Every structure is written in structure tokens, then in C-alpha cells.
Homo-oligomer: A and B are copies of this chain.
Amino acid sequence: MQALKQKIQAEGIVLSEQVLKVDAFLNHQIDPVLMQQIGHEFAQRFAGQGISKIVTIEASGIAPAVMAGLELGVPVIFARKYQSLTLKDDLLTSKVFSFTKQTESTIAISAKHLTAADHVLVIDDFLANGHAANALIEVIQQAGASIAGIGVVIEKSFQSGRAQLDAQGFRVESLARISSLADGQVSFLE
């Protein structure tokens, strides 16, 4: 997706060979027009697949997921990473290890909002080592729901997440695929 790649080149900051900071338009400040374009792109790529629900994870997945949900005409669920007073019954949970934070946390989705009848599109901001995506897949499968695919805004293709998801047979659609962050430069696959 050309507009996204241009935005990454213009406003992304390479913090290390592993970490790209996109706080200017996705992870802290959000560009709503770009989010709408991203939602449109996801909706086009997964059109006609019978998707009934989108599942993402707080906080940075919410904006692209809601824009995709608007266009596909389906509700969005964001998995909670943190305890909530009002979210405590009938929870589907999974452990997720955050590479960037070096901590393990538990993500939770209410079983009330996800059933075996659902066909789910997973959306997340980043795909790196696949920990968040795999945790989301696990809770969705606990609900008995099926998975239409995984939509990723920015994939770090040099890390293992994409290969793992491919190996499990999931359809992955990444809007920007980064082959390297070496020498402070963002290089894209293609």
C-alpha cells in the first residue's frame, strides 16, 4: 500500500535494527485519513469472505480495525491487555509475550461477543514475532470461531511471525512489508 509506505518513509523513526517507531501516525498520534485508507484496503482484500467480526488488540489496533469494520459492516472486538472492572465474566484468555516490552501479559475476550458461528478477520498494527497474533488466534479458536485471515498494517518480514502464520496455513495480508531496518533505513519487500 503506497500511501502507507510513503508515510513510514516520511515519518517513521528507526530506533534499532528491530524497532520502528511510528508514533507520528499509528501508535500514539493517529492519522484518521490514513486509517480510513487502511480500513478500505483491508475491506477490499477480504471482501466476499463472509467475515462476521473483526478482532484486534488494544490500543494501536483499534483505529485500523474500526475503519475496516465500518467498511465491511461488521462489529470489532478489541482484546483487553489490562484488567477491566466490567470485563470479568466468561473470559477467553491467552498469554502473550511482548518482545518490545519484555513482559508477559494475559489478553482477554468476552465469550459473549464471539461464538462458533463467527468467521473472524484478525487485524493488528504490527506483525513481528507473531506473539500477539498467535494469542488472538488462540482466543478466537477457544470460542470455536473460524479465522478468515490476518490483516497487518506493518509487517517486519525479517522477524519470524509471518513465516509462522504462513506455516499454519493462515492467509496474511500485510499492507507494508519491511525487509530490513539496517543502517537506520527502512527497506520494503517487493
User: Which residues of A approach B to under 8 Å, CB–CB?
Assistant: 15, 19, 21, 23-25, 27-33, 35-36, 58-59, 62-63, 66-67, 69-70, 73-78, 80-87, 100-101, 109-110, 112-113
Contacts and interface: CB of A to CB of B under 8 A. Distances in A.
A30 B101 contact: no
Contact of A62 (B59, B75, B101): B59
A67 B65 CA distance: 12
A80 B60 CA distance: 10
Contact of A70 (B24, B33, B84): B33
A66 B63 contact: yes
A110 B23 contact: yes
Contacts of A62: 30, 59, 62-63, 66
Given A21-B86, A66-B35, A101-B83, A76 B110 contact: no
Contacts of A75: 25, 29-32
